[in-house]
Structure 1
């Protein structure tokens, strides 16, 4: 067999600290427990379930703002709980880490509404507490409602948001990698030296968006820099992702489109001096599975009774910045340039799409590819997607919680394992080591390398870089 056909599938559960995440309306199903999302036991039980199923990580989405584009209000958003209410995802990590040993945690944080220092400190602290199991999904935002919440008049230009993101990361790299040498903490009780002063360095940053001077407060964590996730699919977004990200999320409605995106991502990574195989590429999916294909189809019909395609449209409307309620069901929706999610909006330029088309794609209230069948059938389809496109893994959305995760673990995981395509035990090491295999720290080919500090004998030696103009 070739290396491609032997590739082990990477698998994250995809969720959000809210009721409705991707597949909207299913909170009304009598067996769904997502209404308990504000209870800590809901999340600790989920973490234990995922670790028992050998999931690589729990990826938790997040937004700042609300979905108010559809019908120009939030009435449907509130009624159907379309990611509202939603709570801070980082608050969940310590509790879930306490009941697991291996599961990684990819946490979404919008850098547009954070200060680099406070963010870097929080994530370095979490990396310590989890023993190196933290990842960061880097987002720059796409909702005008978020800008109004923080007192701004409107969303920054799409490419300008990425310029700011570049500088945000550069400054975080200085904090995580450039302020403390790896062996700065000695914990020497006899000589009364907890930290060696000669191994801690000030950073000095004067940039277009940020300024910072001083010493980072957190000593080096196991990974230093968290595992970096990104989902940029625009031209500017791909450039950013292939420069920084270790895991990239893509979408596409056909295997060929996915394959072309994979090729493009790996080519651009190579052009930026990175090893293309260092980047792991994920696709979001929804799975309905059962003992047999017939039972899975019956379960799908049951779920459809509770799902809300219209709530899916409301979510989609904010993603593209277009009020879809204004169009008739069979009317072709024209392309309109917006500052929202560029890769989603671009579909209206490339395809003739009506509301009926979108409703058909949102049968479970979500737009991700829907795979239905027995564990055997689902496993075969997942393997085919991996082998035909070159992707590395999947972000599995929930339908009825926690039933859908239990079903996937019971029916699909054993089929993948029997085919040698999914692990039968966790590897040792950090989240980065488990996903990439190249250790706890980012490799020398990553742009973080230029921000790493070197040994110094002078106390509190300044660590400086040229002024960043972005």
Structure 2
């Protein structure tokens, strides 16, 4: 029996501070170069050299302003503000790589499916089939207020909108243009056969899209679909639509519960649960020896910002942690924020009482997942053990001191993982979906809801 491959994605956001607060001040960090093409080109080349499946680019459409009712703390620490558009850096990275995929976050709450379908198809063309879409519904009230709403759309309704949004895009990607619609017959003067291009005639609760898709089909047609919500609505959505799921928790046993829930949802929607690939957020701090890695961790921790961590998690939890006693235990709260994260820090861990202070200290470097610290052999051991207990397929690896953290992982840990047969030496397939389904399988599985719209 062959050793299961450890699937790796790099985790970044087009900003200064994402999962580690304050570490942009570290002398090894060049996170402030996020606004340059050369920074993203270097990042992509590092990840492809390490055999990563993809770079996953997170995004947020509003500033973090729950903490103390102000954006001030987020600005001081560069937490998701300032930020750039994640879509625009992808073509530059695709131009300097051959196999690395790109999973980009786009919200169904503030986009239109007709326009986004064209954007994603264009990116799939430009990357030659290496695009994935991380579907989010956007939880920040600041995004709602700045994008034309008086208040945030309720959590469960956002997922109803997202469901219809997906149906529209599937119709555009899979059902509008038949295979062979583009004939490029110069002699007859016909580029596309009108008889093979169809209006989708969608009229639903939230969207009306009567026409044809503007773009000719790309190699994948539908991009690889990712999702990260762990609420009941989010996990049901993932079970229907997702091909890859991101989980955020710091215990392997907790990740296992989530993995089983997501796969059960996939089965309930008539899909093969093993076609759902699950990735856990993690951070690696490594060195030539265990002692060197521990020294590296202490060095990183000396740059963390407690206020920055509280500001980030205040927005994610939709609770102003500044208004709470920093040493008083948090209790479960229903919010319009990301409910799954509330569970992570309260109801799902009976062994620890979380306070605002302990929460901020804990997430200072790792932010939402385990921190593997040690020599390459120790890190590989812990990643393998975590993967087995959690029943996951791989990791989204954050970089607290971009791009140095990813480079250190690729230079030190990846050779050890390759020696163990965990990371491939050569990519198998040419498209992102082939990394999920196998060489030659560029289209969604027959049991995926997008497949129902094929002509």
Which TM bucket (shorter chain)?
over 0.9
Residues 56-94 of structure 1: CA deviation (Å, up to 9, x unaligned): 100000001111001110111001000100010000111
Residues 230-253 of structure 1: CA deviation (Å, up to 9, x unaligned): 012111111110100000011223
Greater shift, 192-201 or 82-91, is seen at: 192-201
User: Mapping of 1:319-358 within 5 angstroms?
Assistant: 319-346=316-343, 347-350=345-348, 351=350, 352-358=353-359
CA distance in 1, matches of 2:346, 2:384: 30
**Corresponding residue for residue 52 of structure 1:** 49
2:287–2:412 contact (8 Å) kept in structure 1: yes
1:33–1:402 contact (8 Å) kept in structure 2: yes
2:282–2:366 contact (8 Å) kept in structure 1: no
Residues 260-303 of structure 1: CA deviation (Å, up to 9, x unaligned): 22122212211211011110000000110011110011111111
CA distance in 2, matches of 1:374, 1:348: 32
User: Mapping of 1:38-117 within 5 angstroms?
Assistant: 38-117=35-114
Q: Does 1:211 align with 2:212?
A: no
**Corresponding residue for residue 282 of structure 2:** 285
1:307–1:365 contact (8 Å) kept in structure 2: no
**Corresponding residue for residue 433 of structure 2:** 432
**Corresponding residue for residue 418 of structure 1:** 419
CA distance in 1, matches of 2:146, 2:32: 25
The structure-2 alpha-carbon separation of the partners of 1:435 and 1:450, relative to structure 1 and needing over 3 Å to count, comes to closer
CA distance in 2, matches of 1:264, 1:333: 25
* 3-state SS, counterpart of residue 95 of structure 1: helix
Consecutive unaligned residues of structure 2, counting only runs of 5 or more, are: none
CA distance in 1, matches of 2:385, 2:430: 29
Shift of 1:336: 2.5
1:127–1:133 contact (8 Å) kept in structure 2: yes
**Corresponding residue for residue 456 of structure 1:** none
2:249–2:368 contact (8 Å) kept in structure 1: no
1:10–1:435 contact (8 Å) kept in structure 2: no
CA distance in 1, matches of 2:367, 2:347: 21
TM-score normalised per structure 1? 0.93
Q: Does 1:177 align with 2:174?
A: yes
Residues 208-240 of structure 1: CA deviation (Å, up to 9, x unaligned): 100011111100100000000001211111111
Shift of 1:365: 6.6
2:250–2:368 contact (8 Å) kept in structure 1: no
**Corresponding residue for residue 167 of structure 1:** 164
Cα root mean square deviation, aligned: 1.3
Matched residue count: 450
Shift of 1:54: 1.2
Residues 122-143 of structure 1: CA deviation (Å, up to 9, x unaligned): 1001101110000000000101
Consecutive unaligned residues of structure 1, counting only runs of 5 or more, are: 454-470
Shift of 1:333: 2.1
CA distance in 2, matches of 1:363, 1:340: 21
CA distance in 1, matches of 2:267, 2:357: 41
TM-score normalised per structure 2? 0.97
**Corresponding residue for residue 406 of structure 1:** 407
**Corresponding residue for residue 450 of structure 1:** 452
1:124 aligned to which of 121, 136, 146: 121
2:283–2:366 contact (8 Å) kept in structure 1: no
**Corresponding residue for residue 235 of structure 2:** 238
CA distance in 2, matches of 1:277, 1:43: 32
Shift of 1:195: 0.9
CA distance in 2, matches of 1:111, 1:432: 22
Shift of 1:349: 4.3
**Corresponding residue for residue 136 of structure 2:** 139
The structure-2 alpha-carbon separation of the partners of 1:365 and 1:245, relative to structure 1 and needing over 3 Å to count, comes to closer
2:247–2:280 contact (8 Å) kept in structure 1: yes
Shift of 1:360: 3.2
CA distance in 2, matches of 1:97, 1:363: 32
